[in-house]
Amino acid sequence: MKIQLSDHFTYRKLLRFTMPSIIMMIFISIYGVVDGLFVSNYAGKAPFTAINIIMPYIMIFGSFGFMIGTGGTALISKTLGMGDKEKANEIFSMLTAVCVISGLALTAISMLLLRPVAILLGAEGEILEHCVTYGVIVLPATTAYILQFSFQSFCVTAEKSNLSLIMTVASGICNIVLDFLFIAILGWGLPGAASATAISQILGAVIPLFYFSRKNPSLLQLRKFRFDGKALLRTVTNGSSELMSNLSMNIVGMLYNLQLIRYAGEDGVAAYGVIMYVNLVFMAIFIGFSIGTAPLFGYNHGADNEQELKNLFRKSMTILAVTSVAMAAAAMALASPLAQIFVGYDKVLMAMTARGFVIYAFSFLFSGFNMFGSSMFTAFNNGLISAVISFVRTLVCQIAAVLLLPLIFHLDGIWMSIVAAELAAVLLTAFCFVKFRKRYHYA
């Protein structure tokens, strides 16, 4: 039975509705992990380290898609809740065009700055050339990368979560198959991994673009539009928290790499890379749940349905609490086996990676609530509060922690930094939940 934004949600229905988004994000994370797995085991530690150094820079440009997708979803779902489907489709079409135009501009900028940024991030010699090689191949797909991220949110708003899942699974399988072909069979090494990633991103953008360009049974369809500066401004404002979160995460990732080079050299960056790859899969559950619930909060906010807002908030908190504990326990149990899979060829590096991930796993107790809180306030079109939560969580607390804790705990202090940052941020998120409960009537 089709689930609609206007439905009353039980636990089962809420999980069914959000599951495509969760699976979608897991697949996106997995095909990122596969890149690292193939490169580490077939190309070696130096190319693997290079990917980990340059990846935060590459992902910064995809963050624009998160901003447009989440900010636009908040506005479009609220507009649908108010009953104006025509206006919702105009906004959707305009934002898709904005993604294309901005993607082309960002591609040119990212290519121009690639080598200087790699040098700034500490890459030199062989690793520097690996960074440039990977970036030159992947960055031309930036426009597709942005579209793929924005459509992940738009598909949920269109009540077509399954399309988003199909898009992600198709691009993920494409990436895995091409990784195997280019790296394991043809021996192309790092260029093969980059080519597989770029092709899969293009596929992930083309599928929904083709679907929404044609007449379809969903709530959204691409059509002619007039530029609406006010709607674009509201989208950017609403999505600024997600942009800030992703920008900050990648900027902090660069800082982590610099600190790790200082305290543990190339092995430290490689260990952090493994932890980040695995972390992406775990965090995908929280991100997918937040993406899936955002249109529900936005729609019911637009429809002034206070009872359903309270119902959604209560059930979401319960689901997050159970999932957080389960994920932290699973991460600790799997730390050694996962380290073995990625870097089993180096016993010292494997031990460093396993220890770091066990410490890092405690952050899963808090991070889901922070992501959900930021997403929920974005859905309420309160970009300021959402941005504050994201800014404190991903930039202020992490920068302070990663600079100070290593002075006391050395290498362990770097792994502890994310735990300390998430704990501080969850206190702020809880404060915001209490402070704004009467304004938005969710509790």
State how far the Cα of 299 lies from the Cα of 385, in Å rounded to an integer. Answer: 19
Q: Is the pLDDT reported for residue 273 higher than 90? A: no
Task: Specify the pLDDT at position 267.
Answer: 87
Contacts of residue 423, Cβ cutoff 8 Å, sequence gap at least 6: 366
Q: Is the pLDDT reported for residue 131 higher than 90? A: yes
Residue 233 · residue 384 · CB < 8 Å: no
Task: Specify the pLDDT at position 367.
Answer: 94
State how far the Cα of 4 lies from the Cα of 157, in Å rounded to an integer. Answer: 10
Contacts of residue 417, Cβ cutoff 8 Å, sequence gap at least 6: 256, 398, 401, 402, 405, 406
Surface-to-core class of residue 1, CB atoms within 10 Å of its CB (0-12 exposed, 13-18 middle, 19+ buried)? exposed
Task: Specify the pLDDT at position 1.
Answer: 57
Orientation of helix 142-157 relative to helix 190-213, angle to 10°: 40
Residue of 71, 13, 70 whose CA lies nearest to 235 = 71
Residue of 204, 179, 201 whose CA lies nearest to 192 = 179
3-state helix, strand, coil in the chain (%, to 5): 90, 0, 10
Residue 110 · residue 58 · CB < 8 Å: yes
Residue 195 · residue 150 · CB < 8 Å: no
Mean pLDDT of 401-405: 93
Task: Specify the pLDDT at position 329.
Answer: 96
Quote the mean pLDDT of the chain: 89
Task: Dig out the tokens for 144 from the structure.
Answer: 């597709």
Q: Is the pLDDT reported for residue 34 higher than 80? A: no
- How many CA atoms are closer than 13 Å to the CA of 393, on its beta-carbon side? 31
pLDDT tens by residue, 285-324: 998 899 889 889 988 988 889 999 999 999 999 999 999 9
Buried-exposed string 366-386: b where 16+ CB fall within 10 A, e elsewhere: bbbbbbbbbbbbbbbbbbebb
Residue 55 · residue 219 · CB < 8 Å: no
Q: Is the pLDDT reported for residue 167 higher than 90? A: no
Q: Is the pLDDT reported for residue 125 higher than 60? A: yes
By mean pLDDT, which of 27-41, 116-130, 201-215 is the weakest? 27-41
State how far the Cα of 429 lies from the Cα of 415, in Å rounded to an integer. Answer: 22
pLDDT band per the 50, 70, 90 thresholds, residue 20: confident
Task: Specify the pLDDT at position 31.
Answer: 67
Task: Specify the pLDDT at position 44.
Answer: 80
> Of 2-16, 107-121, 234-248, which one has max mean pLDDT?
107-121
- How many CA atoms are closer than 13 Å to the CA of 178, on its beta-carbon side? 22
